[in-house]
């Protein structure tokens, strides 16, 4: 990961119109001294850029359905070779199955098109922020997915998996029981972005 003050982001999408919108928006809201933007329209081109930089990117924003290679395959390669790079999925696929698979493969966040650009900016700022909340007690569990469901421009879902409800106070923190999977309990928190991201980072700090 880039250790200097300037951050590097790679925008990957096979729709050049989306690339232009995102690049123009980010350039208008981040100075060049703070953010360097690269773009690619297919995963092969993106991997070439990443490899040539020796993985010196802080964040990759990628869609999932593209020519030559899927976004899932791209994530697998990036996670294998450059595990420090953060990954944001921005896709027209709106299913929970896709968001779960993306998170399981190492995505840090899953967003649906069309995205609210103000929220997109906030998320990038959050992902670039170093958070050092310490955990007094490790609680077993892991984040399953954090996504923006279909039709919810300002509505998000955070789902975590815990093996034993009796070992946590998560239900007291506003998470509801969603169901069970592979012997673990699935808990969900739903709400506006600011409310959900606050709990997302709190749980990240606890080792989820």
- 73-99 pLDDT, tens digit each: 999 999 999 999 999 998 887 666 777
pTM above 0.85, yes or no: no
Distance CA 50, CA 185 (A): 37
* Count of the separate structural domains present in the chain: 2
Q: What burial class does residue 149 get, using C-beta atoms within 10 Å of its C-beta: 0-12 exposed, 13-18 middle, 19+ buried?
A: middle
* Residue 44: predicted pLDDT: 96
Residue 137 pLDDT greater than 60, yes or no? no
153 and 64 together in one domain? no
> Which residues, in sequence order, are CB contacts of 157 under 8 Å at separation 6+?
145, 146, 147, 148, 149, 188, 189, 190, 196
* Residue 207: predicted pLDDT: 67
> Which residues, in sequence order, are CB contacts of 195 under 8 Å at separation 6+?
none
* CATH code assigned at 35: 3.40.50.2300
Of 102 and 46, the structure prediction assigns the larger pLDDT to 46
- From 84, 104, 128, the end of a domain falls on 128
Residue 145 pLDDT greater than 80, yes or no? no
Q: What is the pLDDT of residues 30-54, one digit of tens each?
A: 888 889 999 999 999 999 999 999 9
- From 65, 97, 128, the end of a domain falls on 128
122 and 146 together in one domain? no
- From 75, 104, 128, the end of a domain falls on 128
Report the Cα–Cα distance between both ends of the chain, in Å, rounded: 22
- Range(s) of the domain holding residue 180: 142-205
26 and 121 together in one domain? yes
Residue 55 covered by a domain: yes
Residue 184 covered by a domain: yes
* Cis peptide bond upstream of 174, omega within 30: no
């Amino acid at each position: 990961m880039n250790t200097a003050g300037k951050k590097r982001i790679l925008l990957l999408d096979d729709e050049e119109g989306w690339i232009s919108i995102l690049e123009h928006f980010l350039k208008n809201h981040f100075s060049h001294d703070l953010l360097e933007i690269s773009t690619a329209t297919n995963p092969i081109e993106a991997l070439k850029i990443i490899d040539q930089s020796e993985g010196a990117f802080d964040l990759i924003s990628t869609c999932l359905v593209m020519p030559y290679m899927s976004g899932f395959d791209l994530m697998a390669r990036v996670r294998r070779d450059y595990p420090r790079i953060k990954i944001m999925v921005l896709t027209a696929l709106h299913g929970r199955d896709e968001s779960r698979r993306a998170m399981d493969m190492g995505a840090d966040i899953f967003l649906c098109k069309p995205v609210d650009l103000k929220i997109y900016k906030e998320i990038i700022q959050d992902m670039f922020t170093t958070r050092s909340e310490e955990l007094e007690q490790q609680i077993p569990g892991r984040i399953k997915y954090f996504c923006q469901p279909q039709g919810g421009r300002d509505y998000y879902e955070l789902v975590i998996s815990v093996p034993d409800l009796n070992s946590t106070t998560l239900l007291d923190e506003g998470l509801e029981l969603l169901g069970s999977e592979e012997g673990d309990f699935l808990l969900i928190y739903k709400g506006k972005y600011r409310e959900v991201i606050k709990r997302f980072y709190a749980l990240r700090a606890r080792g989820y």
